[in-house]
Structure 1
């Protein structure tokens, strides 16, 4: 399973973040790092994750999905250290 970072910017305040967050939380392991930054573990590709998540955002919203490799360090993030460590 690979670790991926997901970050997004939904352009309009009327957008429903809940649908996007629900889709992210459907991955086997996930951690909420910052307001619009998540880490997930998945057997699928970054492109597959992007395609899955774009089903619940508008065409003008931005979305980035990238593979995480190597080490990471953090401070003052939303989720616990253990939740983030489980995604690596």
Structure 2
């Protein structure tokens, strides 16, 4: 299993992106503590993840999918957020 960062910039604020959010929540293990950034743990490739999330976006939206590895550094997240990061990075 691999941890990926999924970041997006939505070109049409106010549009319904519930489908995108439900897709990202469909991964058994995910982290969503930043507005437009998710971390998901999956056996899918970055391209498969991009294509899956891309079904819910339009041409004005931007999407970035990157593999996340250690070392990592963060601040300002509560205990549960930090524990998740320590476990899956």
In the superposition, the TM-score normalised over structure 2's length comes to 0.86
Q: Evaluate the alpha carbon distance shift between residue 77 and residue 11 of structure 1 in structure 2; reply closer, same or farther with a 3 A threshold.
A: farther
1:34 corresponds to: 34
Q: Given that residues 4 and 46 in structure 2 are in contact (C-alpha distance below 8 angstroms), is that contact kept between their aligned partners in structure 1?
A: yes
Q: Given that residues 12 and 60 in structure 2 are in contact (C-alpha distance below 8 angstroms), is that contact kept between their aligned partners in structure 1?
A: no
Q: Evaluate the alpha carbon distance shift between residue 21 and residue 84 of structure 1 in structure 2; reply closer, same or farther with a 3 A threshold.
A: farther
- Distance in 2 (CA, whole Å) between partners of 1:58 and 1:15 is 10
Largest Rg, 1 or 2: 2
- Structure 1 residue 19, shift from structure 2 partner: 1.6
1:30-85 residue CA offsets vs partner (Å, 9 max, x unmatched): 00131101111000000000000011111220000001122111112487222333
1:19 corresponds to: 19
Q: Given that residues 6 and 37 in structure 2 are in contact (C-alpha distance below 8 angstroms), is that contact kept between their aligned partners in structure 1?
A: yes
- Structure 1 residue 14, shift from structure 2 partner: 2.9
What count of residue pairs does the alignment treat as equivalent?
A: 88
Question: What's the C-alpha RMSD, in Å, of the aligned pairs?
Answer: 1.7
Question: Which runs of 5 or more structure 2 residues have no equivalent in the other structure?
Answer: none
